[in-house]
Amino acid sequence: MLTDLNINDEQELTARQQAVLDAVLGLLVEEGDALTMTAVARRASCSKETLYKWFGDRDGLLTATVQWQASKVRAGNYDLQHLDAAALRDSLEGFGANWLQVISSSTSVALNRVAVSHAGSGKSSLGQIVLANGRFAIGERLKPLLEAGRAAGLLAFEDTEAAFRTFFGLVGRDVQIRLLLGDALTLGAAEIARDAARATQQFLSLFGTETSRPKARFV
Amino acid sequence: MLTDLNINDEQELTARQQAVLDAVLGLLVEEGDALTMTAVARRASCSKETLYKWFGDRDGLLTATVQWQASKVRAGNYDLQHLDAAALRDSLEGFGANWLQVISSSTSVALNRVAVSHAGSGKSSLGQIVLANGRFAIGERLKPLLEAGRAAGLLAFEDTEAAFRTFFGLVGRDVQIRLLLGDALTLGAAEIARDAARATQQFLSLFGTETSRPKARFV
DNA sequence: TGAGAGCCGTACCGTACGTTACGGTTCGGC
DNA sequence: GCCGAACCGTAACGTACGGTACGGCTCTCA
C-alpha cells in the first residue's frame, strides 16, 4: 500500500509552477476545498488552460500542491552516535516540538482537511499521500533515534512501532483533531516547547531506563 | 463558544424522521460528503420536498444527522463511590475501549470527515457539534472519574484537563487521523481491549500513586 | 363518504463550476 | 522582421446538484 507513494519523487517544478502551487496553498488555507480553478488562475495570474496543461485536472493540481508542501517540510536528522540521556531528551523534544509546529500550522490544517475530505469520497489518493508524508514519514525518522536510544541502554521497549505510537499520542494528544474540526486552539512557541518537554518527560517515564528516567514526577 | 452546542437538546424526531437520518448515515458512510439530496430521498423512500420541509436545507439535514448519531452514542456513567484501584482501572479501561470503538466505527469516521470538510469551508458548525459531542463530551464524562480517583488517593495530578488530555492521547494515539485519512486500519474487539489496557497501564504509571501504580513495566 | 393534510415521485429551474476553446500578447530563435 | 511556442484572459459548454413546484395517492377525521 504505502510502498512508494512519492515520499520522494522530486518532480522538477519550474519556479513559475511553484509559484502557482503556493497560490493554491494560500487559497486552500483561506477557502478550503471550496477553491475553484478560476480562483486559482486569478490568484496565480495564469490561465486555466495553463493549469490544465501543467497539472491535468483539479485533482492533479491538488496532488501536486500536497507534494510540493511535503517537499518543503523535510526536516534534518539527528546525531545517533554519542547518544546520552541529555542528547536523547533533546532530540525527542526537538521532534515533538517540530511535529506540533507542523500540525498546528494553518497550512497543515488546510491540507489535512482536503485530504480527509477526498479520502471520504475515495476520489483521489490525497489521504494516502498526506499519511505517507506525515504520520509515516516522521515514524521512519523517529524510529532510528528510539532504537539508538535502546542500543545505548537509555530506552527499554520491545516493539519500536508501539513505542513510537505512544510518543506520537503523548505529543499530539487531541490537538490535531481539534484543529481539523475547527476548534480555536492556538499553540504559541512557548506552549509548543512546554508540550514537547512534557511529552518527552512522560515518554521517558514510561520507556526510560535507570539512567534516563526522570527522577521527579511531573505533577 | 462551546457553551450550548446542543449536547442535549432532545429534538423530538418521529420514527420516520429517524429512519431518514439513518439512511443519511448509511449514505454518508458509503459516499461521504458527496451524497446528494436526491440520493437521500431515494434511499429513504421519501420525497425531496419532505426533506426540505423537515430539515430546511442540506446543511440542516447533515446537522440533524450528526446530532441524531450523537444521541445514540451516549454511554452510561460509572460508580464514583467505593472507588478502589481495581475499579479505577476497570473504569479507565472501559472508557478507553468505548472511545476506541466509537472512533474506529465507520459511522464516526464518515461523520468526522464531513465535519472536518465543513469546518474548512466554514459553511456550517458541524465541526463544533462533533467536537462538543465527541472530544469534549467524553472529557466531561471522564473528568469526574479522574477527580474521584484523586480524592480516593489513587491518582496524583494537578490539572484535570491536562491529565485527561494525556489519557486521550495514550488511548487514541494515531488511530483517528489514520482512519480519517483513509488508512486501512482495522481494530478488532481484542485489539481494542488490549489497547485500552495498555493505555490505562501507561496512564497509571504516570499518574497513579503507590496504591494504584502498576508494579511491573509493560515491556 | 368526502374534505383536507401529509407525503411520494418526478419534472423542472437556476446556478456554480470543471473543462475546453479561442483570440491576443510576449519572447526566443532564425 | 518573421515564425512558432508558451501563456494570459475570457468566453463558452456541459453537467451535476440544490432547491422548488406539482400531480396523484393514502390516511385521518368529521
Residue B124: the pLDDT is: 85
Quote the CA–CA distance of B176 and A180 in Å, as a whole number.
Answer: 11
Mean pLDDT of A127-148: 95
**Residue B163 clears pLDDT 70, i.e. is over it:** yes
> What pLDDT, on a 0 to 100 scale, did the predictor assign at position A218?
57
Quick one: cell of A124? 483521489
C-alpha cell at A115: 485530504
Q: For residues A101-109, give the mean pLDDT.
A: 96
Higher pLDDT pick, B71 / B168: B168
Mean pLDDT over each residue of chain B, to the nearest integer: 90
What pLDDT does A80 receive?
81
Q: What is the pLDDT of residue A76?
A: 67
| Chain-centre distance for alpha carbon B129 | 11
Residues near strand D (C-beta below 7 A) are: A 16, 41, 45-50, 53-54; B 34-38, 47-49, 52, 57-59
Name the amino acid, one letter, at B164: F
Distance CA B157, CA A89 (A): 23
Please report which helix (H) or strand (E) contains residue A128, including its range.
helix A126-133
**For residue B4, pLDDT beyond 70:** no
- Give the whole-angstrom CA distance, residue B89 versus residue A30: 45
In chain B, what's the furthest Cα-to-Cα distance? 64
Average pLDDT over residues B31-59: 94
Phi and psi angles of residue B74, each rounded to the nearest 5 degrees, phi first: -40, 120
Q: What is the CATH T-level fold of the domain A75-207, as seen in this structure? A: Tetracycline Repressor; domain 2 (1.10.357)
What SS3 state is found at A208?
strand
Pinpoint the residues of chain B covered by CATH 1.10.357.10.
Answer: 74-207
Q: Is the pLDDT of residue B6 over 50?
A: no
Which of B1, B170, B177 faces A170 most closely, judged by CB atoms? B170
List C-alpha distances in Å: B171 to A116, B85, B194, B204: 21, 19, 11, 13
**What are the tens digits of pLDDT across the range B56-87?**
999 999 999 999 998 887 776 777 878 999 99
Please calculate the CA angle B43-B48-B52 and round it to the nearest 5 degrees.
Answer: 120
User: What's residue A4's pLDDT?
Assistant: 35
Determine the Cα–Cα distance for residues A73 and A133; give it in Å rounded to an integer.
9
Mean pLDDT of all residues in A100-109: 96
Q: What is the pLDDT of residues A182-208, one digit of tens each?
A: 999 999 999 999 999 999 999 999 999
Residues of B in contact with A1 (CB under 8 A): 184
Please say whether the beta carbons of B7 and B133 come within 8 A.
Answer: yes
| pLDDT over threshold 60, residue A2 | no
CB pair distance less than 8 Å for B117 and A121: no
The residue-averaged pLDDT of B163-182 equals: 98
> Where do the CATH 1.10.10.60 domains begin and end in chain B?
15-72
What is residue A10's predicted lDDT score, i.e. its pLDDT? 52
Question: What is the pLDDT at residue B8?
Answer: 40
Task: Please name the member of A33, A170, A206 whose beta carbon is closest to the beta carbon of B169.
Answer: A170
Evaluate whether A135 touches A128 at the Cβ level (below 8 Å): no
Query: Quick one: three-class SS letters along B73-111?
Result: HCCCCCCCCCCCHHHHHHHHHHHHHHHHHHHHCHHHHHH
pLDDT for the residue B84: 92
Tell me what pLDDT residue B219 has. Answer: 55
How far is the C-alpha of A195 from the C-alpha of A171, rounded, in Å? 7
Give the CA-trace dihedral at A88, A197, A182, A65, to 10 degrees.
-30
* Residue A115 to chain B, least CA–CA distance (Å): 6
Q: Quick one: pLDDT at residue A107?
A: 96
d(CA A85, C1' D21) / Å: 74
Residue A124 clears pLDDT 60, i.e. is over it: yes
State yes or no: pLDDT of B164 exceeds 60. yes
For residue B165, give the nearest of A32, A166, A173 by CB distance.
A173
- Digit-coded pLDDT (tens) for A15-72: 899 999 999 999 999 999 999 999 999 999 999 999 999 999 999 999 999 999 988 8
* Mean pLDDT of all residues in A67-88: 84
pLDDT surpasses 60 at A8 = no
Q: At which residue does the C-alpha cell 441524531 appear?
A: B68
Q: Which nucleotide is nearest to B61 (CA to C1')?
A: D18
pLDDT at residue B21 above 80?
yes
Q: What is the pLDDT of residue A73?
A: 78
Å separating the CA of residue B30 from the C1' of nucleotide D13: 31
* CATH 3.40.50.970, applies to B74-207: no
Residues of A in contact with B33 (CB under 8 A): 117, 120-121
The fraction of chain A above a pLDDT of 90, given in percent, is: 79
What stretch(es) of chain A map to CATH 1.10.357.10? 75-207
A15-72 classified as CATH 3.40.50.300: no
Q: Give the separation between CA A95 and CA A91, rounded to whole angstroms.
A: 6
d(CA A217, CA B163): 13
Q: Are B198 and B218 in contact (CB under 8 A)?
A: yes
Please, are residues B119 and A112 in contact by the beta-carbon 8 Å criterion? no
Residue B30 near residue B96, CB atoms below 8 Å: no
Average pLDDT, chain A: 90
**Higher-confidence position of A3 and B79:** B79
Mutate one of B173, B186, B207 to test the A interface: name it (highest A CB count within 10 A): B173
